[in-house]
Structure 1
Amino acid sequence: MRTHTASSAVASDRSAPEPGRLPMAALLALATAVFITSLTETLPAGLLPAMSEDLGVGEAATGQTITVYAVGTALTAIPLTAATAGWRRKRLLLAAMSGFAVANTVTAVSVSYPLTMAARFLAGVAAGLAWALLAGYARRLAPAHLQGRAIAIAMAGIPVALSLGVPAGTFLGKAVSWQAAFWLMTALTLALLGWIAATVPDHLGRRPAARAPMLRALRVPGVTPVLFVTLVFVLAHTLLYAYVATFLDHVGMAGSTDLVLLVFGGASLAGVWITGAHIHRRLRGLTLGSALLVAGAAALLAVPADSPALVCLAVALWGLGWGGVPTLLQTAAGDAAGDSADAAQAMLVTLWNAAMAGGGVAGGLLLDRFGAVSFPWSLLALLVPVLLVVGTARTHGFPARRPTTAG
């Protein structure tokens, strides 16, 4: 038994990060995994009419393919993370991405609505496992002082998927067929599996020291504030993002949705870059700045003005503030949780997806009762407690100085 443990430790040491260097090939593979995870979730949004026709259901029913994905993620992230805590990380990552290959293939060939929904639920399960794994994996690939930058590189797949992937998938669906878009996702995933196998170092799993790792993580100072900020910040963002086309119609820009999303995506990429460059020393300041930028964008959008330039400016501020948020929150959770980082990441993923689902529902209720004008005001109201919690959690959660040996 001791021999096995010693050999495992040696294997883990061989994959230790080199001081002062980032393993870019491995981190870009993780970024591609994030891209696939994000794009698989949102791809049906641009393909609803054609999917609805072939599956024989209405567009509202087809839209639930996105909801069931989020449900699959929210329901399974915590139990799957706990069950696989002892697995080697590379094996687990390959298993999660294989789930996307299977789910997208089934979606591409399915002519049955129930089968399509089952495949989308499977994709959500794979996403729950992947999201809980990827940030921690990126941390372990980097030396301590570059861990935030490593997570930023991996999380760059999110704005790329939203700003480029969704429009490209929509174009392919219109030019060829919606099935072709999902076949392309399968092909990309298969290529990624080879990339991961060739370039991503392996790491040992971390079996929880307690029988209830999630409860143990919640007792660690700083974890609860980070999880609260995650829930409320994502809820606020989703309220507007899920109905951005409806809001743009309200301000007379119904034909500019693609342009606005491109501005948002480009600004988000800038936010990711700024976060990666400064997160090691300024996590707290960047988190406060992100919330203030999004709040400023909401304030501009709340001003009744018939000005496309003002709307684009607001969206640019929104994207700039939001782009680094996934990196900031996952880094804060990992820093605060320490040895319970995997459990904290699983809870963060669950709350993130619950907030996305809740944002869609709450946005619909606001739209029916108060109209699209209520979205920016609601976003502003929700950001007040976010700023208060980040501002007061200065000792644990969002400290002025990050630990020198995070993760």
Structure 2
Amino acid sequence: MRARGPRRRGRALVCPPPAGPPPPLPRSLCPRGFLRGGTDPRSAPVALSRHALRRRSGGAGAGVEGTLRLRRLVHGIGVVHPAGGIELRPGDRSHGGRGGGAPPRIRADRGEGAADDAPALAPRRRAPGDGALAARGNGLARGAAARDPPPPGRCGRKARDLPEYGAEMRVTAVGSGDAFCSGGRGHTCWLIDDAQGTFMVDFGATALAALKRLGREPDGIGAVHFTHLHGDHIAGWPFLLVDAMYRSRRRSPLVVSGPPGTKDRLQALWSACYPAAAERPLPFALEVRELEPGDRVELAGRSLRAFRARHMSPPQIALSLRIGDLAFTGDAADIAEGLCDGAALLCTECTNLGESTGEHLGWKTLREKLPAVPQVLLGHLGEDARRGIAPPPGVRVCDDLDSVEL
């Protein structure tokens, strides 16, 4: 059969494919990994992908095959479609470092499923004047953006629930924002670990998510003390119950306290959010104690004293609480007399930068009347307060998940 020569089609010169195998290439031009015992990588007896077999069986011309070989050698990756699309074989990795066929490598210091080139948990954007999230004061305070969620298997009581460094108590700001979640912060509530176990003061709508970000098991909470019945302080209650009923199957008892009307308000909230679940009995014992200002009680192994807080209009009552050596203002226009006597730490709201209003404390007023308490934690912060407060020694502007140990 006579070889065909070049022919013209219009103004274009069409060349026939060359006969015979392509000439060998020098070793210096072959990318690492393509040489097989010194043979030409284009004709080496290596396994072909099904795409390459389909193309070869389809009668692709040697000219096209030569182009594919050249592009494969230049780019150092798998089979190249004539249209220009790149298909990676298993084990290949794209030049961008992402999206390749190779499975991602797992770093020992990252959780399972995190690729080696994936960025770490990015710190939350902070407004000017928010301050650093590194360890402050005695070096025991830690912020949310300064740590990733704990690794799996480290959420047990021995690993997470007890204070560290020989401390007797840890106080954590589960949320530090006001009712509007100013600055992206959660509703203010406090988590306390002590020798008797774990309890919380208030439980807003964002509390359950924050607990799980901390790696804390909600079933480990033995008591919840509500200062008053506004939504940003109680709206997490139905989520705590539904988690206990359907996920964790809680069995340990829970003690709850609050101002008059707490039991009815919590039940109404539970029924409104999950009416079918609210008709079923809880799988654990629930004790609800309603407190009047001036009451002194023992709850969950701790002494508790209730003070009237100036925040709500009668007949509703808001409370400030003294629990052991800790004082909590809740939402209040001032600090109740006697609340801080002998206290080791005060957790107070500070919604405004200026003067106190009829319902909330302001920094200008609070700064002039700071009680003689070794440490003060500021929560329930509005945007102007968070940006503008320059705290004196012993006072800390809290961020979500900040903690201090006593």
What TM-score does the superposition give when structure 2 sets the normalisation length? 0.21
The higher radius of gyration belongs to 2
Q: Which has the higher helix share?
A: 1
Structure scoring higher RCO (CA < 8 A, sep ≥ 6) equals: 1
Q: Which has the higher strand share?
A: 2
